[in-house]
Amino acid sequence: MSVEVTRLPSGLAVVTDDMPHLQTAALGCWIGSGSRDELPDEHGISHLLEHMAFKGTKRRTARQIAEEIETVGGDINAATSVETTAYYARVLKADVPLALDVIADILSNPTFDPAELEREKNVIVQEIGAVEDTPDDLIFDFLQAQAFPEQPVGRPIMGTPETVRSFKDRNLRTYLERNYRGPDMVVVATGAVDHAAVVAEVERRFGGFNGPKAPTPQAARFGGGARLEARDLEQVHIAVALEGLPQRHPDLYSLQVYSAVLGGGMSSRLFQEVREKRGLCYAIYCYHAPYTDTGVFSLYSGTDAADADELMRVVVGEMAAAANDLNEAEVARAKAQMKAGLLMALESCNARAQQLASQMLAYGRPIPLHEIIAKVDAVTVESARAAGRGLIGRGRPAIAALGPGKGLDAAASIFDGLATRAA
């Protein structure tokens, strides 16, 4: 295995994967802190911090941060999720030290200039407005809030216009100091990289991230119930969530296979039955997202209001049927898709960096490919069926529907009998 790991005295891990056939490198710093780590008066601050990191440091202006990377043909970006925040770049082999320096600089020395802060808060308010105008995005904010009510894990990652506008530079510094600490951080570099050289750069540039692990966030509690909002739209957008499994659960791969069979691609049951055979929608899919202490299975479709009832009845029937009669061919196909995805990630330094970072934050170590494939191969027809039955029977689903008012209540109520259908 070409993966090497060094853990610095601060607890920060450095992981590299040398891919000799490449002349470029993907690298970044991943922090095990996201929107669920926010306190009640910090809603949206993790996302604002991600934005403000690029708005100037003690050594660079916002323009210089962008220009230094793009002048050498690279790109730099960041992303905030429920449990992680990532700052990453893609550059040529010779520019790895520059990219590490820039990323370390924006995390270690942000100025949080008041004028820049006011401008960026307005940018994020515009971003929130864009989601409000995009129903197939907004529906997932509604769904997450219904699945995890009155909890950080259930709040929209971007916050609200009111919370975003309330933040001052001191709020950003407090959050940064509390959550960006060595034991919760990993620097990953893949592609045309040398492990010893990367470690030396990280030791020199990331030395300020000391201290113990950040506080453990509030435990997630799955809620359920329905949120229905009538809007003047062409379609009804419907999303359903069920409580899933956490990252380390032994049945995780069986549930992932069930999810893939049900709605993971064009050959899935939902796509074939709902779209291909009945023509009830253009888009329908489902997926399972594991978190540290829980997971969420989500399903989405958009359809004409007149077809919403039929669509939901078919979806409920297919979910229950798959939990009882999915077959060997379907399981084999889902497992092949999962293994192909793992192997394809090895051909992209960007995908490989993300894969390694996720493994380090979830398990504390890189997971060898053969170990993951063995877990995928261990999934059987019966274990996938059992995972589906467990999913359906775990508790009350969360439902979000957005669109023409006619039929929203009826479409949502159809899910009341889901657990009975799968019993």
Say if residue 286's pLDDT is above 60: yes
Domain endpoint, select from 205, 236, 256:
205
Any idea what the CATH number is for the domain that residue 119 is in? 3.30.830.10
Q: What is the largest CA-CA distance in the chain?
A: 63
Confidence at residue 395, expressed as pLDDT on a 0 to 100 scale: 85
Query: What value does the mean pLDDT take over residues 283-295?
Result: 96
Give the tens place of pLDDT for each residue, 327-340. Answer: 999 999 999 999 99
What is the rounded average pLDDT of the residues 140-169?
A: 97
Where does the pLDDT of residue 417 fall: very low under 50, low under 70, confident under 90, or very high at 90 and above? Answer: low
Does pLDDT of 345 surpass 60?
A: yes
The answer to whether residue 219 sits within a structural domain is no
Q: What is the pLDDT of residues 250-259, one digit of tens each?
A: 999 999 999 9
Same domain flag for 236 and 199? no
Of the candidates 103, 109, 101, the one whose C-alpha atom is nearest the C-alpha of residue 204 is 101
239/166 same-domain check: no
- What is the rounded average pLDDT of the residues 157-176? 97
H or E element, residue 377: helix 369-377
Distance in angstroms (rounded) separating the CA atoms of residues 361 and 349: 18
Out of 172, 205, 238, pick the residue that ends a domain. Answer: 205
Determine whether 219 is exposed, middle or buried from the number of CB atoms within 10 Å of its CB (0-12, 13-18, 19+): exposed
Is the domain of 181 the same as that of 231?
no
Residues 111, 180 within the same domain: yes
Task: Verify whether residue 150 is a known catalytic residue.
Answer: no
Same domain? 256 vs 342: yes
**Mean pLDDT, rounded, for 288-308:** 95
Residues 128 and 75 in one domain: yes
- Provide the pLDDT confidence category of residue 188 given band limits of 50, 70 and 90: very high
Return the percentage of the chain with pLDDT > 90, whole number.
Answer: 91
Q: What is the pLDDT of residue 1?
A: 54
Domain boundary among 205, 234, 262: 205
Residues 354 and 258 in one domain: yes
Task: For residues 241 and 123, state if they share a domain.
Answer: no
In a domain, 342, yes or no: yes
The half-sphere exposure of 393 on its side-chain side, counting CA atoms within 13 A, is: 12
pLDDT band at 408 (very low <50, low <70, confident <90, very high): confident
* Predicted pLDDT of residue 314: 94
Q: Which of 50, 83, 120, 243 is catalytic?
A: 50
20 and 124 housed in the same domain: yes
CA pair distance 52, 56, nearest whole angstrom: 8
CA atoms within 13 A on the CB side of 48: 34
How many Cβ atoms are within 10 Å of 71's Cβ, its own excluded?
A: 11
**What pTM value is reported for the model?**
0.94
Give domain status of residue 20, yes or no: yes
Structure tokens at 249: 């659960």
pLDDT at position 422 over 50: no
pLDDT tens digits for range 220-265? 999 999 999 999 999 999 999 999 999 999 999 999 999 999 999 9
The answer, yes or no, to whether residue 371 has pLDDT greater than 80, is yes
> What does the angle CA 215 – CA 251 – CA 35 come to, to the nearest 5 degrees?
30
Structural domain harbouring 266: 225-422
Interval 4-35: pLDDT, tens: 999 999 999 999 999 999 999 999 999 999 99
